[in-house]
Structures are given as C-alpha cells and as structure tokens.
Structure 1
Amino acid sequence: MKDARICLVTLAVDDLERAAAFYVALGWVRTAAGNASVVFLQGERMVLSLFGRKDLAKDVGVSLEGNAPYPSIALAINMASEKAVDRLYDQALDAGGRAIKPPEPAFWGGYSGYFADPDGHLWELAYNPFFRLTKRGHLDLLRNASEDGAA
C-alpha cells in the first residue's frame, strides 16, 4: 500500500515562469529545487512540477513532431531507492502497463523511468537522492524530512 501514492504531478508548459507565477498566486509555494527546465511547487501533501514542454518530451524520450502521442501531464511516484524503482516498474509492466523509458540513471543525478498505464496515462518512477521522503512516502521539499521521521 505504501507505493499507492502520487508524489508529483508534472504539467508540460510552454512558459515556465508564467506557469510558476500562476500557481504561486493560487497558493503553491515555489521551492529552491529545480533548474532552467523544471520548477517544483510544494502543496499540502504533494508537489506540482512544471516542466518545459520540449524538455519533458526529451526526458521521456518522445517526439513532439508528427502524430506521435504526447501527454501534457505525467504523474510521479518517488521511491526510496533505485531497486524500489525497478521493482515497481516491473510490477507495473506485469500488471499491463506499457514500457516507455526503462529506469536508468538520469541527467539530474537520480534514477528514473516512465511507463504508461493501460489507458496511456504517463507515470514516472524516480529515485531522487536530493529529495527526502517522509516515513509514509510523502514528498515535502520545504521541511527537513527528518521532522516527519523519515529515514
């Protein structure tokens, strides 16, 4: 049951700063995490990720050209280790998911992969050594996870 959670919802956006300002105005808190391609905004129990549309396509390994299906949203589950990412990825494929990008070391220093559920919704599984999870697997980029008893 611990893996049955969403840590991040990633929206593909055309203008990263405009999108970030919009969500900050709605009460999300912009965090120090992120870079020129992605902004992370902390909510109550999850994180909203804004990813430049072209950069997200590159990360997933899909093209924006032609009629290739391209989702504008990705859901993410952050895991406590690379092995946990691999385990849940295999479990998703065994349950009928479709492999999009097998888990591998990521350019940002972590480990991630993508699969699509049977209806084509995109999911990322990630181990991010820079993001700590609480004991219950929640991602909180504003507080030190040890405050919630994270390992």
Structure 2
Amino acid sequence: MTLGVSDLDESVRFYRDGLGLPMQERDPGSDVAFFTLDGTWLSLYPRALLAEDATVGDDGESGFSGVTLAHNVESEERVEAVLAEAVAAGGELVKEAGDTFWGGYSGHFADPDGHLWEVAYPPLDDEADGE
C-alpha cells in the first residue's frame, strides 16, 4: 500500500520514529520510503507525484478520501497504547477508543497527511479462526 504524503520527511519521522515501523534503508534525497510490515509493505511517496503517476488530479487535500487503513491488535489495552503512540508522534486522535457495534473495540487516528487509521481489537473465537 502506498500513501501519498505532502511532506516525506515529516511522514518518515511519524511512521519510523513515532510509531516505530521498520524502515528499509534509503538513499538520502530519495523520494520514496518503504516500511516492511508483516505480510505487506507500506510505502510513502509525495502526494503530487503519486497523483501524477495515477494520472489523476491532486485536488483532494481536504475531506474523506474513502479509505481507512486498519491495524488489528491483540487487546483493548493495545488499542489504547497504539492510539497514544500515534498522538505522541504527531498524529491526531479522530475517534476515542471504545466498544464497537460489531463486538470489538477500536479508535481512529489521522497521520500528518490526514490518512485515517483504525486501531482495532477484534475478539475472534476459535470458529472465526477456522479451528
């Protein structure tokens, strides 16, 4: 997944230094940053260049883009901790953590570019895991 960001250095600090995501080495001055996650990679790329690459206009600076990224964790306490990490790193708490209509526990934060992340504890039973 690639996020178009307005300030690459600020976003690298947020994800690498603030949230502690493991970043691959990158050349100084490179216009892309990659983070290796379990089962996927997160990449950050300047928003204008990402829009240009996709041949769409970069006019969506405000409002909901229609995408929320989700990060599932192992407990309600971990939901609270990740939200606090995001805020301490410069993110904005969008929705306090709490019980959900689907039986879980979650909250939302926005990164420095306004990308929405849901941090959720989805209590799964053995049947849901296929066991």
What TM-score does the superposition give when structure 1 sets the normalisation length? 0.43
